[in-house]
Structure 1
């Protein structure tokens, strides 16, 4: 008899945000996020208390999945950031940094949470409307007739992850491969039902980064002895190799019958019946002139031997992950039955070959359609290879998002400082009609707007980890970094070189102010004629950053609206 325990009453917490422990927890999380932010962010090592794998990273996707939190407020915050990352792959640290900044500053205001929420949503609308407008001076259009902007964007994602442990030369090389792989997946045809191809990452540990490459088609990893046994030296056609793809097991075992039963007549051996059925299947494949049989699961050794004698290559244990790319590149329809096979369901390959990288050996399936490619990604050790894989996946997703919305935002802190200057200028000239709609005073509006702007500026300031000063120019609102060893008694023009995104170099007529200091609000403008940008711009994904901004405001609004927390303690 099981032991009976009375249910514990639920724990109800009133005014959770007034609890000092909550603010301390948010502060600790904020410190972790800020210290990881940007190209010079500090790495974090995550491991559990009972041993196991140690994760070294500064990437939000790995960081926020690597530790757990107990307080409901932090659970809401981290769940929001994780959801953003799962949809956009980029700007996770930006979103978390801004969210923590806003919570910390808003909780210190003597303004009702309801009023803060209404005003912050109004400020968000101002930002989004400005970013989407033609007058926005912190975004640039992507010209797909040149790969330059795509290379800048991919390099910006790659260079912001120091745990990849790669040099500038290696970063440039991997950037080129990322863009090349992305262009492989973009179809040549134009139409309403066109879909992107697939890029399959193939990690190889222990090789140098410069040995990475991108190949059209699919690489299937196999032991060397299996590869030698499977791939014949002669007998394959030189072109139009016919392929059959099975999604069911060809091992000759009974499939799972669930709760049902199987009735067997006396004298009938199920295994022999199934094996006979497999041989009938094999004979049909041979009669249909199939050259390659690929199975997601296991193929019976006797069927393999029969197919080998008939000069048919049999590849099993493909796995579910490669089924989608293989279907897309060959046009094969996965066969899920041993009895009915339609000849229309076969796919085709252009060529087969074998390849080796380090200690790994692969069967290379080369298609006629190059929309599927394999990205062989090499790095020196497991930790840096895993981080590089996550980064390349994020960069590929960012390029796909840019294909849908062909804009990019200026990176290096310049978008944040530019937006802060724009919002501060707009809030200083707020119309009485807007205040009436929001049902708030001008004082409350300006106080909340100031916290909003300072939070954006604080996110930009988080890029500096070595004690250097941060400036903002009073013309275009860009981010300028002063080296930590510079003499602050000198003129600002003597200690700065170019802005954070690389769009502007120092020039006559520019004025600067310390970021966050009191200065007269100004409307940041963009002077096209004065753009003397370097050969490398730092860029951010437009879609990911806009969504990150909205997620931060929505999450803060939700947390500020919390009045009670009810927890089930059973």
Structure 2
């Protein structure tokens, strides 16, 4: 009998945020996410120590999924950001940077953590109330009766994902396709209270230009073994629907597909012949029922395929489990529960079948009456760029769905963060005595935490500048501005600034700037939405309202949770 090792005691760490080890871990993580932020963010390569697949990315969803995090504090932080991304799809880097920055600044204050947490929660409420109010100067309404703002929103998402390697024309083309695909997936059965969306499938085509990408209503199924020019069924009339049978079971005739139990085989019975006869009987019944298309998740017996081909029935095999739900959606078919009994009620219907080809790939195009499913053929130069592009398109699609439910967008390019910071600074100077009493803090403590809160918002905007240039904010709208590096010391900023981060505002007479994060007098930021229309601006940068608002809440609440952490107990067994 082997000797049992004594159980090790748990490791208890008190006040973990005060330890140097966690400070180093948070600092490294903060630098990683900060350097990825924005359309000029730097790439990160993810791979394991044994080599293998290398992922080049700057997107938070791919980055956090590829990081191996071991420290409990960092695990909690990354889990919070990933939970936000699973629900909202965007603003993951914003959330992570804001949380790390707030932790760093609050820890440096001589204010009790419980007091800091209460003040941060108060300031968070101030921000969310302002963002939801009619007086908000960084919120733009979205009218889906026009494609202008939704298209600019999609474009903003794509341009922020630098590893997609898209030119300006390619961004415009892909943005149009994503918006078109989104419109195709809106269910016609929507009501005033609920909105249902279909599915967009992304079809990879490598080694082609992004400008070759295209969107198709319905479903594209790759069929390399079919000669679709001669095998497509002939429609007797334009109004006739194409009948389809869908099989989740294998049609190969293998005994492993007959289910559990014991099989008794009589003498002089040839099992293969019996199975083949059963397959052919199945084919005859489908032909008699007028089926023109048979789709199988797994394998179809060669003899059955040949029989169906002779009867001018298209047979498609090995479509995979992922395609079953979209096939059910667009055809209304129900997967056949058994090979012994075919129910005509399970058959689906299609409006048309067509053959499509892309590069060296051949596809069967299934066209339904109501295309709540569409196929977006995405072309890219290589596999890495395609993966990034697919992820970016999925993010843009998710952002559009969120915007339908919450039809607002926020100004992007760092302008919402600096505008919010200016608003909070202005409100913090006029905090009432009753508020201080409710928060159980002094005015000095409130001001210290408020400065750190605003500085954290501004630090997110500062991360957009990766080339050493100066970052400014104006004293009228509170927008973010960037100037090139290595300017002469006596340069006038009005001569070098061009547009603010969101692209809505330009330099004008009487507009003044200051270095971001430098102390200056507070001011109430004005709205620029009425002065320059978003629809007339040249490629404005916009952010998803729902995603950024939730990211703000997650960042502050996660930082508050970590600040309130007194002990970490680790089981070392």
How far has the Cα of 1:278 moved from its partner? 3.0
Equivalences for 1:120-519 in 2 at 5 Å? 120-191=120-191, 195-223=196-224, 226-228=225-227, 232=231, 235-237=234-236, 239=238, 240-255=241-256, 261-264=261-264, 266-267=266-267, 273-519=274-520
Task: Tell me the residue number matched to 1:42.
Answer: 42
Change (3 A) 1:324 1:49: same
How far has the Cα of 1:57 moved from its partner? 0.8
Q: Say which SS state the counterpart of residue 291 (structure 2) adopts.
A: coil
Change (3 A) 1:323 1:55: same
How far has the Cα of 1:160 moved from its partner? 0.8
CA distance in 2, matches of 1:173, 1:156: 13
CA distance in 2, matches of 1:108, 1:98: 16
How far has the Cα of 1:296 moved from its partner? 1.4
Change (3 A) 1:263 1:4: farther
Equivalences for 1:51-62 in 2 at 5 Å? 51-62=51-62
Change (3 A) 1:569 1:406: same
Q: 1:536 aligns with which of 528, 539, 555?
A: 539
Change (3 A) 1:433 1:236: same
How far has the Cα of 1:238 moved from its partner? 5.6
Pairing 1:80–2:80 present: yes
Q: Say which SS state the counterpart of residue 339 (structure 2) adopts.
A: coil
Q: Is the 8 A contact 1:231 1:313 kept in 2?
A: no
Q: 2:555 aligns with which of 544, 552, 556?
A: 552
How far has the Cα of 1:569 moved from its partner? 1.6
CA distance in 1, matches of 2:19, 2:350: 64
Q: Is the 8 A contact 2:232 2:314 kept in 1?
A: no
TM-score for the superposition, normalised by structure 1 = 0.95
CA distance in 2, matches of 1:284, 1:38: 59
Q: Which stretch of the first structure deviates more once superposed, 406-415 or 37-46?
A: 37-46
How far has the Cα of 1:274 moved from its partner? 4.6
CA distance in 2, matches of 1:444, 1:274: 82
Alpha carbon RMSD of aligned pairs, Å? 2.0
CA distance in 1, matches of 2:349, 2:75: 49
Task: Tell me the residue number matched to 2:568.
Answer: 565
Unaligned runs of 5+ in 2: none
Q: Which stretch of the first structure deviates more once superposed, 188-197 or 303-312?
A: 188-197
Change (3 A) 1:12 1:142: same
Change (3 A) 1:12 1:353: same
Q: Is the 8 A contact 2:228 2:364 kept in 1?
A: no
CA distance in 2, matches of 1:526, 1:233: 59
Change (3 A) 1:529 1:252: closer
CA distance in 2, matches of 1:117, 1:2: 52
Q: Is the 8 A contact 2:228 2:355 kept in 1?
A: no
How far has the Cα of 1:66 moved from its partner? 1.3
Change (3 A) 1:431 1:257: farther
Aligned residues: 567
Q: Is the 8 A contact 1:217 1:366 kept in 2?
A: yes
CA distance in 2, matches of 1:248, 1:460: 54
Q: Say which SS state the counterpart of residue 200 (structure 2) adopts.
A: strand
Q: Say which SS state the counterpart of residue 231 (structure 2) adopts.
A: coil
Q: Which stretch of the first structure deviates more once superposed, 318-327 or 24-33?
A: 318-327
Can you list the C-alpha shifts for 1:272-319, whole angstroms capped at 9, x where unaligned?
A: 555444333222211211111111122222222222222221111111
CA distance in 1, matches of 2:438, 2:188: 50
CA distance in 1, matches of 2:403, 2:529: 23
How far has the Cα of 1:144 moved from its partner? 1.2
Q: Say which SS state the counterpart of residue 317 (structure 1) adopts.
A: coil
Can you list the C-alpha shifts for 1:505-562, whole angstroms capped at 9, x where unaligned?
A: 1111212111111111111121555326632110000011011011101111111121
Q: Say which SS state the counterpart of residue 8 (structure 1) adopts.
A: coil
Unaligned runs of 5+ in 1: none
Q: Is the 8 A contact 2:57 2:163 kept in 1?
A: yes
Q: Is the 8 A contact 1:487 1:495 kept in 2?
A: no
CA distance in 2, matches of 1:135, 1:29: 36
Can you list the C-alpha shifts for 1:433-466, whole angstroms capped at 9, x where unaligned?
A: 1122222222111111110100000000100011
Q: Is the 8 A contact 2:137 2:529 kept in 1?
A: no
Change (3 A) 1:135 1:185: same
Change (3 A) 1:336 1:3: farther
Change (3 A) 1:398 1:457: same
Q: Say which SS state the counterpart of residue 251 (structure 2) adopts.
A: coil
How far has the Cα of 1:217 moved from its partner? 1.5
Q: Is the 8 A contact 1:47 1:55 kept in 2?
A: yes
Change (3 A) 1:509 1:326: same
CA distance in 1, matches of 2:308, 2:328: 22
Change (3 A) 1:261 1:234: closer
Equivalences for 1:7-22 in 2 at 5 Å? 7-22=7-22
How far has the Cα of 1:145 moved from its partner? 1.5
Can you list the C-alpha shifts for 1:92-111, whole angstroms capped at 9, x where unaligned?
A: 11011101101111111111
CA distance in 1, matches of 2:194, 2:318: 32
Q: Say which SS state the counterpart of residue 84 (structure 2) adopts.
A: helix
Q: Is the 8 A contact 1:253 1:271 kept in 2?
A: no
